[in-house]
Each structure stands twice: as structure tokens, then as C-alpha cells.
A and B are shown apart, each in its own frame.
Chain A
Amino acid sequence: MTVLRNNARVLRYAFTSAMADMRATYTWKSWTFAWLARILCQVTLFALIGKLLGSPEQVEYLVVGNSVFIVADIVMMVCATTAWERLAGTLPLLVSCPSTPFVVFAGRSVQWLVDGLACSTVSLLLLAPVLGVSLPLGAALTAVPMIAVISVSVYFFGLTLAGLALRVMKARNLVGRLGSIGLMVLTGVQVPVTFWPVPVQYMSNVLPLTHGLHAVREHLHGAPLPRVLALLSLEVAVGTAWTVIAFFTYRRLVNSGRHDGTIEFGG
């Protein structure tokens, strides 16, 4: 019980720190007029591609896919922000403290969950109608909690990649970008997963976002609740698996770093 309470306390402080980072990066004006505007342009670009293809169905597929993908794209910034910890020289302190570094890192970048969910929601609820995609309002509103589930599963996938980025600091942005574009290509954002060869589909099925996005699409098309919940459960299962992988990634990082002296100040 004490361990749980302590971890909850660490998570709370990590969350506070994450939100302080967010406030240091954005003011409400720069978030709204620079960041959110950029995100909406991202979805608009793909809607225009749908228009270029001359198909309203494609426009809808791309707008929904990219609106939901926004949350993943933003959450993948966890790779960069986790790596900042090493640049700031605080990694040795985190390793030597009595808490588990994984718990700290798990809470340290949650600002992207809040940011991603906000941007994704605005895109789905407000931008989609502007782009000529009429989604049933009730279903669009109830899709928001589903996007929240997706954000968490992507977060732990990103956290795993961040654990790798901490080992190759000079490629930290590259690792995050590759993870993000990989999700965009393979998880049914732009084309159905079935478009790809079967071996690639296997990979898609163990990536976060695939089943969650499928669930959102089915939900928006009025699929029965059990079907939607089944897909969402798959997303939760994938997210849980990535959480376990992330936990072991950080444990190995800490253990091997202690062993070979690579948990250095500076980075």
C-alpha cells in the first residue's frame, strides 16, 4: 500500500512538472494560434488530398483518420521530452533516488496526452464539419473518451521508444519521428490496414492506434456497442503490453547504465 501511495505521489509530482513544461513552452495564445492552427492545417492537408482524389468517402476516411492520428503524433513527443532529462543532467539523480525511474518517466511527459487529446477533439468535432465531413454529433462526442484510451496506449509505445532514444541521444528526434510516421503509415490512418501485405498487417496489429482507430471509425458509422468495445479492448490490451515492455526497457536502461557507468551527468 505504501509503495502504491509513494508511486502515486511521484506520479503527481511528475505530472506537475510536465504541466509546468507545457506552460513554459506555450502561452494560451501561442498554443491556440500557432500550435492548434498547425494541427488543423495538418488534417486539412489530408482532406485536400481526399478532394484531389475526387472522392467524398476518401475525404471522410482521411479526416477521421488524421484527426485521431493527431493525438498519436503529439503524444510521440514523449521521445524528445524524455531525452531532455538526460540533456538536463538529471538522469543520474533519478536513477539514484529511491523511486523507480519508470514511474517518473511515465508521468514526466503527460502534458502531451492533454495537448494531444485537446487538439484531436477540436479537429474531430469542429474541423471535420468545416471540411464537409458531417459526423453524428453524439457519436463524435462519445469518440473522445476512445481517443483518450488511444492516447494512453500510444504514450507507452512512445515511452518504450524514448527508452531506446536515451541510449542514442543524438538520434532522439529521429527515433520519435520514425515512430510517429510508422504509426501514420501502418495503423490504418491513411489506408485500411488490409491494404498492406499480410506480414505488415501482423505488425500493425501489435501497434497502438490500429484497433482504437478502427473502433472510432466503426463507432462513427453506428456499429453496435459490443463490436466497438471489443475493438477498444484490443487497443487496451496492446497498450498494456507496451506498458510492460516500457517498464522493462527502463529497468534494463537503469541496470545496464549502473553496470557500465553510462548514467552520466550531462549526456
Chain B
Amino acid sequence: MIALFWASVRFQLQVLRRSPDYLMAVVTIPLLAIAFLAIMKNAGRADLAPYAVLGSTLMTVWATALFVSGELIESERTQGTLEGVLAAPVQYQVLVLGRISIVTVLSFFGLAESIVVAWLVFGYLIAVPHLGLLLLTLLCTAFAMVGTASIMAGLFVLARSARIFQNSLSYPFYVLGGTVVPIALLPGWLQPVSKIVFLSWASDLLRDCLAPTPPRDVLFRLTMILVLGAVAFAIGHLLTKKILRRVRQTGSAGYA
């Protein structure tokens, strides 16, 4: 299984060299960061620059995970190879996870880009007073992100058009996940819903990593990200298994 995972990672790296679309995040993160930073600067709120930098990164990493998990199903379908992949004697989920993981991990480099953009374009120096914790949180976030993407990859096989999900699961989660705006500013009735979205825990902790005061309840918050990620992995695994059984029975995996 581990060999298959690494093989799919290597395969995706080969694909990335020929398909710049998969690394859209590298280009879009700085642009989104510029949009958010401009809003903050125009309002005279330089103190909110870290929100802009982290928000643009989390939004794009989420969008990339969605894009990749949807796009690889769509492209397998378009090329007529999805049935072959599903029929192969390997676990489909592991194959997909390897491909999503590498793109997700690479897209996190956008954070460094955003920090550079904030400095170059707006002259904002984003301090990282808790670098170790920031890296640890990013690692946990990547784990949960890939877990969540595994649910989507399953749904995309079932859906008539993966693009509906691809296009629709972005902004609702940016709001619920507190990517740019802390969930404390959401209406009270929505805040409990946010708590079951791993992004809300991740974005809060990441913002605290950029604040001068030491973050509180670190262990609990990291655990929450990991637990929600693990739950997502479990749901993704069960869902994909069920969906694959169904499309094999109904013969509805490909377009034909």
C-alpha cells in the first residue's frame, strides 16, 4: 500500500511537470493575497495583514485539493481510463490520496509566497513569532485537508458532473472555516457548525502563530484538527468503498 502511495506521488509529480493547471495555487495565492491586503491597507488596518496572508493561503490550498480531486476523476473519465483504474487490483483510494497529497503539500508553499508579496507590494513584514508551532499546524492541516479531499474524490466518482462540487464547495467552507474572518464574527447559530469544519480550528491556530502572544490550548486545538482529519479519512474510505461497489454494479463509472 505504501509503495502504491509513493508511486502515485511520483506519477502526480510527472503530471505536474506537464500540466501547470494543477499548480494554479502557486500563481493564485499571491494574487488573492494582494486583493485581501489591498482591502486591509485601504481601510488602514495593517494589523490585519496576517489574516490576509493566511486567508489567501488556506483558501487556495482548499481550492487546489478540490480541483485536483475533481480534475483527476474528470480527466480519467474523459480519457476513458477510469474503468481501467477501478478494475486494477490496487486500492483506488490510496492511488487518489497519493496524487492529492503531493499537490496539497506543494500548494502550502504559497504561504511563503504570500509573505513575500505582503513585503514586496505593501511593505508589510509578517513576523512569525511561533515558527515551530506554525509548521506543526501546517502539517496537521495538510493531513486533515487530504482526508477531506478523500471524501470529495469519492463523491466526484458518483456525481454526474464533478464540476458542480468542484465549483460549489469552495466559498461556503471559506466562510465556515474562518479562513479570512474569524468564526467569532459569524452569526451565533452558525458557529457550532464551523466547529466541525477542521479549517476553523486550523485557521484560528495559524493566526495565533503569527500573533506575538503565545497561543493557548495548543495541544487541544492540534488534536481537534487531527481528529477531524482522521474522521474525514474514515468517512472518505467508507464512502469511496461503497460508491465504487455501486458504480461497478451499475456500470456508471465512465461517460459511456
Contact = CB atoms under 8 A, between A and B. Distances in A.
Interface of A: 24-26, 30, 34-35, 37-39, 41-42, 44-45, 48-49, 51-53, 55, 58, 62, 87, 170-174, 177-178, 181-182, 184-185, 190-192, 195
15 contacts: A25-B164, A26-B164, A30-B164, A34-B165, A35-B164, A35-B168, A38-B168, A45-B171, A45-B174, A45-B181, A48-B175, A170-B19, A171-B20, A190-B42, A191-B38
Contacts of B182: 52
Contacts of A55: 43
Contact of B172 (A25, A38, A49, A174): A38
A35 B67 CA distance: 16
Contacts of B163: 25
Interface in B50-80: 51, 67, 78
B2 to A, nearest CB: 30
B164 A87 contact: no
B32 A181 contact: yes
Sort A-B residue pairs by CB-CB distance and give the 3 closest, nearest first: A41-B171, A34-B168, A48-B181
A48 B174 CA distance: 11
Interface residues of B, number: 40
B167 interface: yes
Nearest to B176: A41
B134 interface: no
B223 interface: no
B13 interface: no
Contacts of B32: 181
A173 B21 contact: yes
A264 to B, nearest CB: 16
B28 A191 contact: no
Interface in B88-144: none
A195 B174 CA distance: 26
A137 B31 CA distance: 34
B170 interface: yes
A53 B43 contact: yes
B28 A177 contact: yes
Contacts, number: 106
Nearest to A55: B43
B80 to A, nearest CB: 13
B238 interface: no
B27 interface: yes
Among B36, B167, B169, the one with the most A-chain Cβ atoms within 10 Å of its Cβ is B167
Nearest to B172: A41
B222 interface: no
Among B21, B67, B163, the one with the most A-chain Cβ atoms within 10 Å of its Cβ is B21
Contacts of B175: 41, 44-45, 48
B181 A182 contact: no
Given A45-B171, A195-B42, A52 B185 contact: yes
Nearest to B173: A41
B39 A38 contact: no
A204 to B, nearest CB: 12
B24 interface: yes
A79 to B, nearest CB: 11
B211 interface: no
B180 A45 contact: yes
B158 interface: no
Nearest to A181: B31
A107 B161 CA distance: 23
Interface in B138-161: 161
B200 to A, nearest CB: 13
Contacts of A41: 171-172, 174-175
